[in-house]
Amino acid sequence: MTGSIEVKVTCKTEEATDIASFELARLDGAPLPRFSAGSHIDVHIPGGLTRQYSLCNDSTEQHRYRIAVLRDPASRGGSTAMHDTVKEGDVIRISTPRNHFPLQHAKRSLLFAGGIGVTPLLCMAQRLAAIDADFTLHYCTRSEDRTAFIKEIEASDFSKRVKLHFDAGPPINRLDIVETLAEPAADKHLYVCGPGGFIDFVINSAKNNGWGHEQIHLEYFANTPQDTSGNGKFEVRIASTGKTYSVEAGQSITRVLQDNGIDVLTSCEQGVCGTCITRVLEGEPDHRDLYFTDEEKAKNDQFTPCCSRSKSKLLVLDL
């Protein structure tokens, strides 16, 4: 893992039903690399898995990183391993922080968190409060017992800027997305993180209310299931060697390359994190990621080989 650090789990806390937080610190107590609000780290967890988790502590802190993990039966094993296997005192390996979800300069910011999607937005709220910026955090969960960090939020100096919305609560307290997004303006920005359905709901509502693409910022935790019925065979050529490899319908590009001794750094393997981004010199990628914007995809000059494929018979990669 490039830029990796060994850390100790100094504290594991049950924050809500099926949600645990983990505080991580260097073994020698030295400061951790600085990070900005919206950053995430890769966590190398038992079983050989690598997963991404947003940092949810104050971005001015360097003595610890804090992440929170939802136990999700539908996950690919990472959340279960974190809950059942990782405990206080364990030493694990993480990456240095990366930020694909940064705060922008705006007169007003609206933050929308769906469930565990609160993690990067909590860090954003802490930062916005520290610089006395105008913002509101809308935190939507199923019920109070499934709301992580609720006591911390209620005790914070920005508690009045947070609106809690419970599906199980009175209808009057539920999120009125149309009213909340009724007044778009160039100096307002929107940030959303959570399950795919929640993100799509907020984004579609924003677009319907006239919010511009440049004002909307999002981060998915996982890609949606892909329809693979139309997958076909194609070839990829490595520009540096001229060698060409066939990618069958049931194979990923990264797997084919790895099987042939060509390492492409990967992490999420779902087209979410951007770790595997590779330049395309020739051909038309079939973009299946959630990382690039539509405008970036239209350029067809880079793609995520962990999940994307090819619309052309040949892709020439800058490797």
**250-263 pLDDT per residue, tens:** 899 999 999 999 98
What's the pLDDT band for 225 if we cut at 50, 70, 90?
A: low
pLDDT tens-place string over residues 54-76: 999 999 999 999 999 999 776 65
- Write out the H or E segment, with its range, that includes residue 136: strand 134-141
Task: Calculate mean pLDDT across residues 31-52.
Answer: 90
Q: The whole model's pTM is what?
A: 0.78
pLDDT at 312: 95
19 forms bridges with which residues in the sheet?
16, 70
pLDDT at 77: 60
d(CA 211, CA 180) in angstroms, rounded, equals 12
Cα 155 from chain centroid?
27
pLDDT above 70 for 224: no
pLDDT at 223: 55
pLDDT above 50 for 198: yes
Q: What does the angle CA 127 – CA 203 – CA 297 come to, to the nearest 5 degrees?
A: 95
pLDDT above 50 for 282: yes
What's the pLDDT band for 272 if we cut at 50, 70, 90?
A: confident
pLDDT tens-place string over residues 156-174: 999 999 999 999 878 888 9
Q: Domains in the chain, start-ordered, CATH in brackets?
A: 4-95 (2.40.30.10), 108-220 (3.40.50.80), 234-317 (3.10.20.30)
pLDDT above 50 for 295: yes
Share the mean pLDDT of the chain. 91
pLDDT above 50 for 11: yes
pLDDT at 27: 94
pLDDT above 90 for 280: yes
d(CA 215, CA 106) in angstroms, rounded, equals 9
User: Residue 57 is encoded by which pair of tokens?
Assistant: 């502590």
The share of the chain scoring above pLDDT 70, in percent, equals 95
Task: Calculate mean pLDDT across residues 46-50.
Answer: 79
pLDDT at 45: 86
pLDDT tens-place string over residues 101-143: 999 999 999 999 999 999 999 999 999 999 999 999 999 999 9
pLDDT at 1: 42
Question: Residue 228 half-sphere exposure, CB side, CA atoms within 13 Å?
Answer: 11
d(CA 54, CA 74) in angstroms, rounded, equals 19
d(CA 12, CA 84) in angstroms, rounded, equals 11
pLDDT tens-place string over residues 18-38: 999 999 999 999 999 999 999
Phi, psi of 95 (to 5 degrees): -90, 170
pLDDT at 203: 93
**What does the DSSP 8-state code read for residue 214?**
G
